[in-house]
């Protein structure tokens, strides 16, 4: 055999060995390890990703959008895949809205294969990040919650967390309805990571919308009025509600200080609370109407029953004076309520007696939930008669020693305005396409007693009443002022420098269509409800009455 032939034979043998080795390798990979390699390929090239459901919007009674969801994206990084973190950090920082050193630290973080760079980044900026085509940067579609009116009704609406779940407020209470159901998407990528197939395997189901009873125009006006109270009196806080007493629909629920709903972390804890339902306080003189109501309904007194009243009254070991010094007078029940006489109201409470007084307090809803759909409602505090001291009937009839919430006060006065029927205030009108469940009303006093009380409460805004300056030309108004000392948490005694000033009223007085409650916590420079809260009632009513086309009488 010649040398060329030997070389050809040797070369053939080498190729034959390589071919056999390749065949064995192919059999090993294609048969023995086929399942394992197929699973690895699928895991690297095929990915199931969640398709976020569109969260339902929240709108006011006219359809004005208050909270909506917009397209957004989560941006994450796999640090060990990034080749030039310094350059990439400079490109990403302005798009992420974060300092460059902070982004660089995230991109070079050791001991982790995954780190979030941003959650719920606006979609336009997320698309700019995608255009960079940076290896190791992942952009995942999601949505972000946006509150279009910023601070409007923010404590009522609540907030949504970074995972898209409602945290508190209506967002939390109605999270299940608003959230919808996420879908699923199958994405197949090539060796370079480019998507070559995208298919939705399970469509997302959008969440249901909430239509509220509030009116954005009235809500905005009320918040502006409270802001002016904040500027003038520098209180700790202020709260107001506007309600239709015939239905219990809340047209506004406002709190001051305001909170930007798009920046909850920037607000102090006190400001975040919806104090219309979470704040309990001693109501003071606004409570006197219920003492009188119980006495009228029980037959203990009539509106024209006369009382001879000394300048002060002693009950057990306590001596109670009027808020303003006066001599001995003779006043009717109607005059006692109009002039907010402490001594006269205590006398009426004594005529009613402990057991009947307690029964009427509870019948008006104090000490229990109103049934409102506003989340976070406190029950307040009403003493059991067994725990009364000798002086309890000296302070309870005038609104001391009992704790209530603003929404309880609105509901109770709503019963007086609504002909004696107590209704639960509510703020949700519809969930999706269905009307929200609304509890029925309960008659607690007769129409006659309710009418007598409305007439008597007109005297509060008449000349000589405690809120005479809050009258509105052309309208007959009714209401009640309240000024209550706060209890000092350290001494347990009533403070002589911290007060609650309040006013609750309705219009028109004969057939009320609008009820407004205002509570100001620790005003400075003035303390009386007639001076601090009643003018706020007047300003809100002066806007709302013509806006709702409620004609003067």
What is d(CA 144, CA 141) in angstroms, rounded to the nearest whole number? Answer: 10
Name which of 404, 405, 444, 446 is nearest 423 in CA terms.
Answer: 444
CB burial of residue 290 (10 Å; 0-12, 13-18, 19+)? buried
**264 contact partners, CB below 8 Å, separation of at least 6:** 159, 272
First-to-final CA distance of the chain? 129
- Fill in the DSSP letter of residue 69: E
Query: Which helix (H) or strand (E) element contains residue 105?
Result: helix 100-107
Sign of CA dihedral 273, 277, 279, 285: positive
In which residue are the tokens 């395997």 written?
201
The single residue of 209, 285, 340, 341 carrying the catalytic annotation is 285
Crossing angle, helix 288-298 and helix 406-417, to 10 degrees?
A: 40
| 285 assigned to active site | yes
What dihedral angle (degrees, nearest 10) is formed by the CA atoms of 377, 380, 384, 389? 170
The per-residue DSSP string of 442-495 comes to: EE-S-HHHHHHHHHHHHHHHSTTSTTGGG--TT---EEEEEEEEEEPTTT-SEE
What is d(CA 288, CA 416) in angstroms, rounded to the nearest whole number? Answer: 13
What is d(CA 517, CA 165) in angstroms, rounded to the nearest whole number? Answer: 32
Supply 366's token pair.
């104090």
Asked if residue 157 lies in contact with residue 100, where contact means CB atoms within 8 angstroms, the answer is no
What dihedral angle (degrees, nearest 10) is formed by the CA atoms of 506, 512, 513, 515? 20
Supply 228's token pair.
């002016």
Query: Which helix (H) or strand (E) element contains residue 26?
Result: helix 3-27
Asked if residue 221 lies in contact with residue 538, where contact means CB atoms within 8 angstroms, the answer is no
Peptide bond into 257 cis (omega under 30): yes
Collect contacts of 521-525 with beta carbons under 8 A, ≥24 apart.
521/235, 521/236, 521/237, 521/238, 521/239, 521/275, 521/279, 521/281, 522/235, 522/236, 522/237, 522/486, 522/498, 523/229, 523/233, 523/234, 523/235, 523/499, 524/233, 524/234, 524/235, 525/232, 525/233, 525/234
Residue by residue, what is the 3-state secondary structure of 272-291? Answer: HCCHHHHCCECCHHHHHHHH
Supply 80's token pair.
């060990």
Active centre residues (catalytic)? 285
């Amino acid at each position: 055999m010649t040398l060329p032939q030997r070389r050809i034979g040797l070369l053939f043998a080498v190729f034959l060995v390589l071919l056999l080795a390749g065949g064995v390798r192919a059999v090993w990979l294609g048969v023995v390890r086929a399942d394992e390699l197929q699973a690895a390929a699928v895991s690297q090239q095929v990915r199931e990703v969640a398709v976020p459901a569109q969260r339902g919007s929240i709108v006011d009674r006219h359809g004005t959008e208050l909270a909506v969801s917009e397209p957004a994206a989560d941006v994450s990084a796999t640090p060990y895949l990034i080749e030039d973190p310094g350059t990439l950090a400079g490109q990403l920082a302005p798009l992420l809205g974060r300092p460059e050193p902070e982004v660089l630290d995230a991109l070079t973080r050791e001991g982790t294969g995954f780190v979030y760079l941003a959650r719920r980044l606006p979609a336009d900026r997320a698309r700019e990040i995608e255009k960079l085509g940076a290896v190791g940067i992942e952009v995942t579609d999601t949505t972000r919650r946006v509150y279009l009116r910023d601070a409007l009704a923010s404590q009522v609406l609540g907030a949504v967390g970074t995972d898209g779940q409602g945290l508190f407020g209506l967002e939390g209470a109605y999270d299940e309805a608003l959230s919808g159901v996420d879908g699923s998407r199958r994405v197949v990528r090539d060796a370079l990571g480019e998507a070559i197939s995208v298919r939705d395997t399970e469509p997302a189901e959008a969440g249901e919308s909430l239509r509220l009873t509030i009116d954005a125009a009235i809500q905005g006006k009320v918040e502006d009025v409270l802001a002016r109270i904040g500027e003038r009196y520098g209180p700790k806080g202020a709260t107001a509600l506007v309600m239709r007493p015939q239905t219990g629909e809340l047209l506004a629920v406002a709190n001051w200080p305001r909170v930007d709903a798009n920046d909850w972390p920037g607000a102090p804890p006190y400001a975040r609370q919806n104090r219309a339902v979470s704040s309990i306080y001693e109501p003071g003189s606004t409570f006197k109407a219920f003492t009188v109501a119980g006495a009228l309904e029980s037959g203990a007194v009539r509106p024209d029953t006369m009382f001879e009243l000394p300048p002060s009254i002693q009950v057990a070991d306590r001596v109670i004076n009027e808020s303003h010094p006066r001599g001995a007078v003779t006043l009717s029940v109607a005059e006692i309520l109009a002039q907010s006489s402490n001594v006269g109201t205590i006398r009426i409470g004594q005529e009613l007696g402990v057991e009947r007084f307690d029964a009427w307090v509870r019948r008006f809803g104090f000490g229990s939930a109103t049934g409102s759909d506003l989340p976070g409602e406190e029950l307040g505090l009403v003493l059991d008669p067994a725990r009364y001291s000798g002086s309890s009937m000296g302070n309870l009839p005038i609104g001391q020693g009992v704790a209530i919430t603003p929404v309880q006060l609105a509901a109770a006065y709503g019963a007086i305005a609504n002909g004696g029927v107590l209704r639960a205030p509510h703020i949700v009108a519809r969930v999706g396409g269905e009307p929200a469940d609304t509890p029925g009303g309960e008659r607690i006093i007769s129409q006659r007693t309710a009418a007598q009380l409305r007439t008597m409460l007109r005297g509060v805004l008449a000349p000589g009443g405690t809120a005479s300056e809050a009258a509105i030309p052309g309208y007959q108004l009714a209401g009640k002022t309240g000024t209550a000392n706060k209890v000092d948490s350290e001494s347990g005694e009533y403070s002589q420098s911290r007060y609650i000033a309040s006013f609750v009223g309705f219009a028109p007085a004969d057939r009320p269509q609008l009820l407004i409650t205002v509570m100001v916590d620790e005003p400075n420079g003035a303390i009386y409800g007639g001076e601090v809260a009643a003018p706020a009632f007047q300003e809100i009513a002066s806007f709302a009455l013509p806006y709702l086309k409620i004609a003067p009488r």
